Amino acid sequence: MKMKIGVISSLPDVESIYGNTVSDLECQLFFRTGCLTAALLLALELQNTDEVDAIILIGIPTETMGGRITVPVYPIYPDNYDIMCAFYQARAYGTKLAFTEIGYTTKYYDLDHIIAMSGFDVSCYRFTVRDLIRPTVDQVIADNRECLVTMGGYSYEYAMELNFPVVLVIPQKRSFLFAIELIRRFFLAKQAEQEKFCWLRAVMDHTAEGILVLDHREQVIVINSAMSRYLQIQQADILGQFVDDISRTRPLFQQFTSTPGNYETIHTSQGEYIIKKYLQYDGDTFLGTLISAHLVKDIQRMEMDARRKIHEQGFVARHTFADIKGSSRMFTKLKDRAQGYARSHSNILLYGQSGSGKEIFAQSIHNASPLAGGPFIAINCTTLTESLLESELFGYEDGAFTDARKGGKSGLFEMAHGGTLFLDEIGDMPFDTQVKLLRVLQERTVRRTGGAKNIPIHVRFIFATNHDLAADVAAGTFRQDLYYRINVLPLRLPPLCEHPEDLREIALDAVKHLSARNGRMFTLSEAGIQAMAGYHWPGNIRELHNFLERAIVLDYQKDEQIRELLLEFGSGQEPVTGSSNTMNGESLTLCIDSLRNMENAIIKTLYQRYDKDKKQVEQVLDISTSSLYRRLKESGRRQTYEQRSVYIRGTCHEAPALPDSPR
């Protein structure tokens, strides 16, 4: 885009002097000739009709523009060298010279110094208006001057009419080029500012927040499209207008601008708005006011969308240490140690019985750690097959296998970057996957399935298990090197029966939240709490929560009702008719052993009992096919079961032969 520059000069034929100096520059010149008041009319024409970007004045003072020109104006004045050149040119006519100048303009030359250096006899004549030009030239002739040196075209032309010797002072071409360069720099800066302004306008008009800016006089200088929509007013109708003038006819505008402080809520026919007001100062100088507005229903919608997306991804840790109830000495010491662990970046191993609160502790540690602002990702190692677990953890590249997602997929290791990855039931991780996990922990890099590059990760690892991992290492089902790698900061979560003094606090807190969730008013009596304290709670805190939720749903608030419900929990039976998951009254009794061994014994026995009908075993135990396969495979590895007795219907049978591992 070419610059358009107007050139106004009091010199005649100035285009022939400067016109070819800018042929290689990206600009278009508009030459005009005029002096004093005539120059102002020419400048207005160039500005309004030709739409020039700037105006250069040659030999014309900027004072003649009277502040009416809005585009940049660059004057070119003669300097000492220009006048000295004119004096030496005039000596061809004599040494008694006359010099005319405009009296009120700023001078960029030292006339006394020039005269002293030249040795000429020079008289200076000044005028301030065009009507004095002719009388001034007449006076020069009357004073017997031999030549006139002038900077104005009118005095030059009048002297030529009188056949009086005259020489023009012409600024050098370098002065003209310097003015062009200044204009070019201004033009580029203006273009850059316009581009920034366009982006700023785009940002303001595409934000959901309404914005209104008032200057120190309460004049509207900025309003974006959202605020225009909120106020039901066109932007062009109020830009440049004063608040008082607009408020007289628009009460909604007055309601927005008269809000006294920040985060005020106002009610309109469109709904509720939250208004914020900022007073802007530059030091002690008040610059103006910025008013922003949000439609409350839009905020609520955006918050719901954000919450939904975050929870859909499962990358949020909801619990903190404040959510973990229990004030006994043992449990307080446990929480203090967990909070100390949270400050480090080392691997943490949480171990304890099912239902003892391992994931709540993991979330609390994350939220108390330096990585609290990052994602929290949890995965249960027993819920997926070996191949699916690896693809979830490591991700894969495009085309890594059949049906792979186009473009590949990031694994949970990558997605947890800058946050915490919680691997629950780490004791059930397949042996081959343990090897790959160990490499990730050692190298802190991950390579996608089918990929060739290692991706660095910064992840805090928390592991959890209800296994005795040391025994698993001895049995050869868990890698020893991985065990030592993850068991850096161990934390044992005790079963509820080991800190029964915390049951009251845990139960009352659970009742408060479960009552609110179920929309019930429920009161737990002291006698009910004492009755609950006599139960051993093999399912720990999770079982306690389940018991209380059942009591709330059934509205069992009386002491005898609590005891009756405890008997149902104690027997493990609940009267349900027509359920396909019952064993038709059959019972199964086991010799006391580790929980894992007893679970495997149940699975193995039922597998034989139902003639290896896996579907029926899955239905009765309510477990997935992958879990059944994994546990049967594990049972095949454990030879210790062969020496144990299994009692079915009160009759002792030797343990049946282990089934072949399903393919």
Q: Assign 304 a pLDDT band (cuts: 50, 70, 90).
A: low
Q: Assign 270 a pLDDT band (cuts: 50, 70, 90).
A: confident
Instruction: Check: CB of residue 94 under 8 Å from CB of residue 67.
Output: no
Read off the tokens for 20: 């070819």
Instruction: Check: CB of residue 12 under 8 Å from CB of residue 58.
Output: no
448 Rama class: left (phi>0) / alpha (psi -120 to 50) / beta? beta
Sheet harboring 264-268: ordered strands across? 220-223, 210-215, 285-295, 271-282, 264-268
219: which DSSP letter? B
Q: State pLDDT tens for residues 112-128.
A: 888 888 888 999 998 87
- Which of 138-142, 206-210, 353-357, 527-531 shows the lowest per-residue confidence on average (mean pLDDT)? 206-210
Read off the tokens for 281: 């100062």
Q: Assign 206 a pLDDT band (cuts: 50, 70, 90).
A: confident
Residue 493, strand partner residues: 352
Percentages helix, strand, coil for the chain (3-state, rounded to 5) are: 45, 20, 35
Q: Measure the CA angle with vertex 152, ends 150 and 155; round to 5°.
A: 75
- Would the CA dihedral through 79, 82, 86, 89 be positive or negative? positive
Other C-beta atoms lying within 10 Å of the C-beta of residue 470: 12
Residue with tokens 């002097």: 17
Instruction: Please state, in angstroms and rounded to a whole number, the distance separating the CA atoms of residues 638 and 151.
Output: 112
Q: Assign 655 a pLDDT band (cuts: 50, 70, 90).
A: very low
- Residue 85's contacts (CB-CB under 8 Å, 6 or more residues apart) are none
Whether this model's pTM surpasses 0.75: no
- Which of 21-25, 343-347, 603-607, 634-638 shows the lowest per-residue confidence on average (mean pLDDT)? 634-638
604 vs 593: which has the higher pLDDT: 604
Instruction: Please state, in angstroms and rounded to a whole number, the distance separating the CA atoms of residues 251 and 615.
Output: 72
Instruction: Please state, in angstroms and rounded to a whole number, the distance separating the CA atoms of residues 66 and 104.
Output: 13
How confident is the model at residue 581, as a pLDDT?
37
Instruction: Please state, in angstroms and rounded to a whole number, the distance separating the CA atoms of residues 364 and 366.
Output: 5
- Residue 572's contacts (CB-CB under 8 Å, 6 or more residues apart) are none
Residue 30, strand partner residues: 6
Instruction: Please state, in angstroms and rounded to a whole number, the distance separating the CA atoms of residues 279 and 160.
Output: 65
Instruction: Please state, in angstroms and rounded to a whole number, the distance separating the CA atoms of residues 340 and 342.
Output: 5
Q: Assign 646 a pLDDT band (cuts: 50, 70, 90).
A: very low
Is the pLDDT score of 27 beyond 80?
Answer: yes
Interval 608-627 mean pLDDT: 76
Residue with tokens 């992958």: 626
Instruction: Check: CB of residue 641 under 8 Å from CB of residue 601.
Output: yes
- Residue 650's contacts (CB-CB under 8 Å, 6 or more residues apart) are 589
Rounded percentage of the chain residues whose pLDDT exceeds 70? 86
How confident is the model at residue 574, as a pLDDT?
41
Is the pLDDT score of 517 beyond 90?
Answer: no
How confident is the model at residue 663, as a pLDDT?
34
647 vs 197: which has the higher pLDDT: 197
Instruction: Please state, in angstroms and rounded to a whole number, the distance separating the CA atoms of residues 467 and 579.
Output: 32
Cα torsion 538, 544, 547, 553 to 10°: value is -160
Instruction: Please state, in angstroms and rounded to a whole number, the distance separating the CA atoms of residues 295 and 302.
Output: 11
Closest residue by Cα to residue 598 from 301, 258, 354? 354
55 vs 23: which has the higher pLDDT: 55
Q: State pLDDT tens for residues 377-422.
A: 998 888 777 778 888 888 888 766 655 566 678 888 888 888 999 9
Give the total residue count for the chain.
Answer: 663
Q: Where does 343-385 have alpha helices with state H?
A: 358-367
How confident is the model at residue 121, as a pLDDT?
92
649 Rama class: left (phi>0) / alpha (psi -120 to 50) / beta? left
Q: Assign 587 a pLDDT band (cuts: 50, 70, 90).
A: low
